[in-house]
Amino acid sequence: MVNPVSTSTSTIAGVPIDIIGVSQGFRTASGAALPVLADVHLSVAAGEFVALVGPSGSGKSTLLRLLAGLDRPLFGDIYVDGEEVTGPDPRRGLVFQDPTLLPWRTVRDNVALGPEATGTLEQSAGAIDAVLGLVGLSDFADALPAQLSGGMAQRAALARVLVNKPRVVLFDEPLGKLDALTRRALQRELRDLWQRERFTAVMVTHDVDEAILLADRIVVFTPRPARITEIVPIDLAHPRDYGDPRVIALRRHILGRLDSE
Amino acid sequence: MTDVIEAPSTRRAAASDGSTVLDRIEAAVARLHAPRELHAGPGIGALAVWAAAALMTIAVPDTSRYVVEGTRFIAVITVALPVAYAATWAYGRSGLPRSERVLGSLGGGTPWVIASGAWYLIWEWTTAKTGALVPPYFTPPQQLFAELWKDRVLLSQSFGNSLLLLAIGFTVGAVAGLITGLAMGWSRQATYWLHPVIQYIGPVPALAWVPIVFVVFPTAYAGAVFLIALSVWFPVAVLTRAGIRGVPRSYYDVAQTLGASNRFLIWRISLPAALPSIFTGLFMALSAAFVTLTVAENFGVNSGLGWYINWKKGWSAYPAMYAAIILMVVFCGGLLSILLAVRNRVLSWQKDLTRW
C-alpha cells in the first residue's frame, strides 16, 4: 500500500520524450527480415502518463526497449529531455512484467542494486528506506524474493526503479501477471505514486480498462509492423471509475479500434 | 460493503470442549512439526545391542588364529557408547534446556546406533573371537585401531601430504576453471579458441597423461599438481560456462537500466546467478581430484594416503592397508562434507536445496 507522504511535491520531475521516425526490425529464425516498428512518431510531455495499447506482438515492448536504451533503432531518433538516447540510464527506469528480482539478494539489496551499480550506495541508505516505505515493504526489507507474493515482488521491482529518482518510468505490462484483485489495488497505488512523483510514464498494457484508469493519452497501435493508428486523450479527473459512462464509451471506442485492425 | 454481511466468527465455531477452530489448527500444526521422539522400544534395543557387544568383547577370549591387538581399547569404547547413549537419553527426558532437541536427534540417530552395534557384533565374533573368517584378508575391528596407532607418524604425514597436494591442485584447477568458464560465458573469442580445447583435452583421464607429464615437468610434485588441476579445471570450466549462459537476459537488462557497468554485470549478476551450476562443477571436480590424487601419488610422488595403501598392499600388510583405507574414507567424505556445508551456506537463498 502506498503511504501518504506529508512532504508531497507537485512539481513535475518528469522530462519530455520525442520519438522521431523510429523503425525497428529483426531477423527471424528462418532468416527473413521482420519489420516490427514502422516510422513511429510520438511526443510525450513532461510528467505525462501515456499508455500504449495494441495487438500482442505488435512491437510495443520493442519501442519500450528502445526508449530504455537497451536496443538501438534501425532508423529514427529518440530524444529524452532533448538528449539523444544512446544507452541505458538509471534516470530512465524500466519495470517488466516479471519482477526479475535477483533471487540471491534480499528485497533491500535488490532495491540497492541501482545505487550500488552507480557507486552511490553509502549516501542512498535513507532513500532506500524511504522507497521501501513508499511501496509498503518496510517489513519485508530482509525477505528473499522467493518469500514474496506476486504483488509484493512487483512493488519491490517498482521500488528498485524509484530509488534512482527516475525522470521517466517505462512500464512493460507491469501488472499483467497479477490476479485481478491485486491488479486493481496496484493500479490505484501506481496512480497515486505517479500523481505524487510526477515522473513521465510510458506504459505498455493489454488491459484497456487499466489504460483508461491511469493514462492521460492512449496510443493505439496497428498489428506488426506497428504504426500509430490513433491517439485517444483521456480528459477525466482522477480518481476515475469503471462505471463512469464516459469510461465505458472510451473503452468501447478503443476496443472497436483494436478489433477493426 | 463488508460491514453488511458479518463474517462467521471463529469464536462461534467453538467445539464442545471450548477450544476454537484456531486453537485446534494451532495444535494440529504443532503436532505435525513436533520433533521426532525416541520411543522406548528402539531405545532399549540400542542399549541391548551395545551392552551385548561390550559383554562379548570383555568376556569372550580372543582367538589365536588372528593377530589381535587393542582389545582393551575397543572394550572401553563398547562400554562407553551405551553409557553415553543412556546418559543422553536421560538428559533428553529431564526437561532441562534443549532437552527436546537432544531427544529428537537421539531418536533420529537410533536406527544407525542399532545397525552399527549389530554390524560390530557380527564382525567381532567372526574375526577376533572365533576366527571363522579366514586371515589375512579379514581383520578384527580393534586391529584397525591398533594399526592406526602403531603407524601414526607415517599415517599422519601421509594424510597431511595428500591434503596439501589436493589443496594446491584443486585450488589451481578451480581458479583456472572459473576464469576459463567466465571468459567463455562472456566472450565469443574465448569460446572460439577454448571450446575445442576443452572438448578434446577435458575428457581424457589423468592416467593417460602420466607418461608425458612426469617427463615434461621438472619435478614429480609439479606434475601431480598439474594432473589434479587438469581434472578439476575441466568440470569447473564447463559448468561455469553453462551456468553463465543460463543467466536470464532480463537480469542483465534490469541491471543495465539501473546503470550497471560490464564489470558489475560479471561480478554481481553473472557470477552469483551461475553459482549453483559452479558448485555442481566443483563437486564433480572434487571426485575427479580424488581419483587423480591417488594415481599421482603412486606414479612419481611416492607419498600420501594413496601411496601408503599401495605400499602396504605390496607387503601384504592387510590390516594396515584397511586402516589406511578407512582414513581415506574419512579424508574424502570429510572434504566432500566441507564443500557441501560451504555450498549450503553460500546458496542458502535457494528454496529447494538438493541435499546429498
Amino acid B16: pLDDT: 59
- Spell out a b/e string for A73-85, using b for 16 or more CB atoms within 10 Å of the CB, else e: beebebebeeeeb
- A65 CB neighbours in chain B (<8 A) are 253
The reported pLDDT for the residue numbered B352 is: 53
Q: Which residue of B has its CA nearest to A70?
A: B253
Assign B35 a pLDDT band (cuts: 50, 70, 90): low
- A117/B contact by beta carbon, under 8 A: yes
Residue B345: count other Cβ atoms within 10 Å of its Cβ: 8
The residue of B247, B250, B253, B258 whose CB has the most chain A CBs within 10 angstroms, and thus the best one to mutate to test that interface, is B258
Q: What is the pLDDT of residue B270?
A: 92
Binning pLDDT at 50, 70 and 90, where does residue B236 land? very high
Residues of B in contact with A104 (CB under 8 A): 272-273, 275, 347, 349
* DSSP string for residues in B249-279: HHHHHHHHHTT--HHHIIIIIIHHHHHHHHH
pTM of the model: 0.81
* Chain B residues in contact with A100 (beta carbon < 8 A): 248, 250-251, 253-254
Chain mean pLDDT for chain B: 87
Q: Do A114 and B259 touch (CB under 8 A)?
A: yes
Residue A100: Cβ-neighbour burial (10 angstroms; 0-12, 13-18, 19+): buried
Query: What is the set of domains in chain A, with CATH numbers?
Result: 17-91+167-260 (3.40.50.300), 101-165 (no CATH)
How far lies B272's CA from each of A104, B217, B350, in Å? 8, 36, 12
Say whether B261 and A117 touch across the interface (CB within 8 A). yes
Long-range contacts (CB closer than 8 Å, 24 or more residues apart) made by A110-114: A110/A145, A110/A156, A110/A160, A111/A156, A111/A159, A111/A160, A111/A163, A112/A163, A113/A160, A113/B254, A113/B255, A113/B258, A113/B260, A114/A90, A114/A160, A114/A161, A114/A163, A114/A164, A114/B258, A114/B259
**pLDDT tens digit string along B85-97?**
999 988 888 878 8
> Which of the residues A113, A164, A170 would you substitute to probe the B interface, choosing the one with the greatest number of B C-beta atoms within 10 Å?
A113
B345: distance to nearest CA of chain A, Å? Answer: 12
Q: Is A118 in contact with B259 (Cβ distance < 8 A)?
A: yes
Given an 8 Å threshold on Cβ–Cβ distance, is B269 in contact with A102? yes
Domains along chain B with CATH numbers: 40-139 (no CATH), 152-346 (1.10.3720.10)
Q: What is the pLDDT of residues B196-209, one digit of tens each?
A: 998 898 888 888 88
The pLDDT value given to residue B351: 63
What ipTM was assigned to the predicted interfaces of this complex? Answer: 0.86
A225 shares contact with chain B (CB less than 8 Å): no
Q: Is the Cβ pair B349, A103 closer than 8 Å?
A: yes
pLDDT tens per residue, range B119-154 = 999 999 999 888 888 877 888 999 889 989 988 999
How far A243 CA sits from the closest chain B CA (Å)? Answer: 17
Reported confidence tier of residue B4, pLDDT bands at 50, 70, 90: very low
Query: A102 touching B, CB under 8 A?
Result: yes
User: Which of A46-55, A63-72, B291-300, B333-342 has the weakest average pLDDT?
Assistant: B291-300
CB of A90 closer than 8 Å to CB of A169: no
Rounded Cα distance between A160 and B216, Å, is 56
CB contact under 8 A, A160 and B349: no
Does the beta-carbon distance from B259 to A102 stay under 8 Å?
no
Tell me, what amino acid is at B297?
A: E
**pLDDT > 70 fraction of chain A, expressed in percent and rounded:** 96
A70–chain B Cβ distance below 8 A for any pair: yes
Per-residue model confidence (pLDDT) at position B113: 94
Q: Does A69 touch chain B (CB under 8 A)?
A: yes
**Of residues B170 and B1, which shows the higher confidence score?**
B170
Q: Does A142 touch chain B (CB under 8 A)?
A: no
Q: Does A255 touch chain B (CB under 8 A)?
A: no
Residues 75-94, chain A, touching B (beta carbon < 8 A): 88-90, 92-94
pLDDT digits (tens, 9 = 90+) for A116-167: 998 888 888 899 999 999 888 999 999 999 889 888 999 999 999 999 999 9
* Residue in chain A nearest B259 by alpha carbon: A90
C-alpha cell read off for B244: 553463465
State the average pLDDT over residues A103-115.
Answer: 93
User: What's the grid cell of residue B201?
Assistant: 583435452
Interface with chain A: mutation pick from B249, B257, B265, highest number of A CBs within 10 Å: B257
Task: Identify residues of B whose CB sits under 8 angstroms from chain A CBs.
Answer: 248, 250-251, 253-261, 264, 268-269, 272-273, 275, 347, 349-351
- Indicate yes or no: CB of A164 within 8 angstroms of CB of B258: yes
DSSP secondary-structure letter at B349?
Answer: T
pLDDT-based confidence at residue B38 (cuts at 50, 70, 90): confident
Average pLDDT rounded to a whole number, residues A89-96: 91
- C-alpha separations of A16 from A232, A233, A245 in Å: 19, 17, 32
- Cβ distance A114 to B258 less than 8 Å, yes or no, reads yes
Q: Is A98 on the interface with B (CB under 8 A)?
A: yes
How big is the A-B interface in CB pairs under 8 Å? Answer: 68
Contacts of A144 in chain B (CB under 8 A): 349
Distance from CA of B294 to the nearest CA of A (A): 37
